[in-house]
Homo-oligomer: A and B are copies of this chain.
């Protein structure tokens, strides 16, 4: 089956959490938003989301289409894909644990986003720079390490099983933590240089993921989009206190 991913083109954004799972598993998929305008593009994404006759309209992308099933929200899509792509253990308890970790990453990503959009998503960064500086300072001082220490602690409980968040095997949550840390290194290089030595198991997980066969190939392909200042992870040096 060919999966269809609907997400805005030109940035990794929240779509990247889905791309990483599909790429890692070598799944057949098409990234509709990043096709040419003839074949897809932003227009096709918008049309898919906002068609007036949709029985089940979705609030925002990313949206995944798998035959007749259409799913929105990153954690929801990954909970669906995980078993199908072999990226989560079989047992219910582990799947609930994986989804809980993914939802903590969802909250972390939202706080990262809000460092550059503290007054909300409807204003440009340039219209909220002063407030962004305040929020980013608190984020860097308190929230960044709180979240990273948490994932370090989770990895510590798996000691002896290798650097995996869910039991003793690689999962989609590892791929998502890889993406968050990679994005944080782009957005907050100075802050991350200070905090990363304190979370060695997190760093080891990121290294391990980057060397997985399909991921290593993906990261140097043109399908892997560069971080930029349109996305979730933005590098504004004035926020990296």
Contacts and interface: CB of A to CB of B under 8 A. Distances in A.
A58 interface: yes
Contacts of A68: 93
Given A122-B138, A143-B122, A56 B104 contact: no
17 contacts: A54-B157, A56-B97, A57-B157, A59-B104, A59-B107, A59-B147, A60-B104, A69-B93, A73-B99, A73-B100, A76-B103, A79-B99, A107-B110, A110-B110, A118-B119, A122-B142, A122-B143
A96 B76 CA distance: 7
B153 A100 contact: no
**Copies of the polypeptide in the assembly:** 2
Nearest to A158: B55
Nearest to A69: B93
Interface in A133-155: 134-135, 138-139, 142-143, 147, 150, 153-154
Given A69-B93, A122-B143, 9 more contacts: A56-B157, A59-B104, A60-B104, A73-B99, A76-B103, A80-B96, A110-B110, A114-B114, A118-B135
